[in-house]
Amino acid sequence: MTAVAETAGSFGHEVERSGAPLIDVEGVWKIFGRNADRIVGTADAELSRGELRAKHNCVAAVRDVSFQVWPREVFVVMGLSGSGKSTLVRTLIRLIEPTAGRVEIDGRDITSASQAELRELRRHTSSMVFQHFGLLAHRRVIDNVAFGLEIQGVSKAERLRRAEEVLTLVGLDDVGNSFPDQLSGGMQQRVGLARAFAVDPKVMLYDEPFSALDPLIRRDMQDEVIRLQHETGKTMVFITHDLPEALRLGDRIAIMRDGAIVQLGTPEELVGSPADEYVANFVRDIPRSHVLTLRWIMRDPAPGDEDGPRLDVRTTVRNAVPLIVESEKPVCAVEEGRVVGVVDKEAVLTAIAGESG
């Protein structure tokens, strides 16, 4: 089914949200500047960016951000440059110290962790992929991949064995002895991916990993991330400024503006009911039929509707169109063998018509 490739992130796996979240972020602030500590909690925290800069010479990069990420979920943070998304992801493992708020990962309080505890977390629980790769130019690819394990003190034979495994996983079997500058940008980022995977983390953080790549290669790499996600089931926090990328990958997406989250929801929610003008402007050019699924446009089944052709409730409108057009009766949307709703031609036309307006 081609639908899997279209919205793989939201379609390929189910996120179990009944347990405890793997990442729990509560009221995180990051303010850069001298008197940063004195602002959160006062009325000044409500000031706009420009006013805050004028009054305190401070920049609020992240403002009161809260969210949870559950195991196996792909959580995307999307925003334009300067919206604070890269700062936010860095505060999660305290590459940048948050000014206020609390972050828990895997049940451990990160914000109060000692330096040693923090190192343990960074070594075993999380790993990160960077926009400009951050590879070590003086080391071979395989040593780059093994670097995280080297930091942990894993023996040389063991870490090289593991690095080779991971290189195979990302499709770079034969470049282990090359040096980073001998590879293309896309391949260098595969090395970056491999390095992050090599330590077998629970949480993977991606900071705009594909922004520096050509569009075609970017698409390849997105597929690669989707594939790896399916094979390994990692939890991911993915930062991007590219909305199509966010829609493709994310189970849920948080849209940031001026340091705050303006909307948090599934791709369908963002496209189907944008929270404000800002988000609406963002999603305006996205073809709704590519994102919205039957679940979004179906109505409750009336008696006698249930004998129409059946489609999975997670099928996108675009992929359902041929069947709905051909069918005499409304199409039944099915979830776990049960009919949960029906979709008729009118509903499809309304959804598609929404694209132009």
- Give contact residues for another protein (rule: CB under 8 A): 90, 93, 95, 118-124, 126-128, 130-138, 140, 147-148, 150-152, 177-179, 181-182, 195, 199, 205
CB closer to another protein, 235 vs 315: 235
Give the torsion sign (CA, 282, 46, 67, 18).
negative
Whether the CB-CB separation of 124 and 201 falls below 8 Å is answered with yes
Angle formed by the axes of helices 215-232 and 185-198, to 10°? 20
The residues facing 316 across adjacent strands are: 293
Q: Which is nearer to another protein, 132 or 230 (CB)?
A: 132
CB-wise, 121 or 160, nearer to another protein?
121
Give CA–CA dist 62/47, Å, rounded. 13
Distance from the Cα of residue 350 to its chain's centroid:
29
Measured from the CB of residue 134, what is the shortest distance to another protein in angstroms? 3
Distance in Å, CB of 137 to another protein, minimum? 4
- Whose Cβ is closer to another protein: residue 152's or residue 168's? 152
Find the angle CA(105)-CA(111)-CA(112) to the nearest 5 degrees.
110
Q: Check: CB of residue 237 under 8 Å from CB of residue 75.
A: yes
Residue 328: CB minimum distance to another protein, A? 57
CB of 77 to another protein, least distance (A): 17
Q: Report the residue count for the chain.
A: 357
Residues 152-191 as b/e (b if ≥16 CB within 10 A, e otherwise) read eebeeeebbebbbebbebbebeebbeebbeebebbbbbbb
Residue 93: CB minimum distance to another protein, A: 6
Q: Which is nearer to another protein, 238 or 296 (CB)?
A: 238
Q: How far is the CB of 49 from another protein (least distance, A)?
A: 22
Shorter beta-carbon distance to another protein: residue 136 or 217: 136
Closest CA to 194 of 238, 146, 245, 124: 146
> How far is 137 from 199, CA to CA, in rounded Å?
20
**Site of tokens 């290669």:** 217
Tell me whether residue 75 or residue 130 sits nearer to another protein (CB atom). Answer: 130
Kindly state the smallest distance separating residue 257's Cβ from another protein, in Å: 25
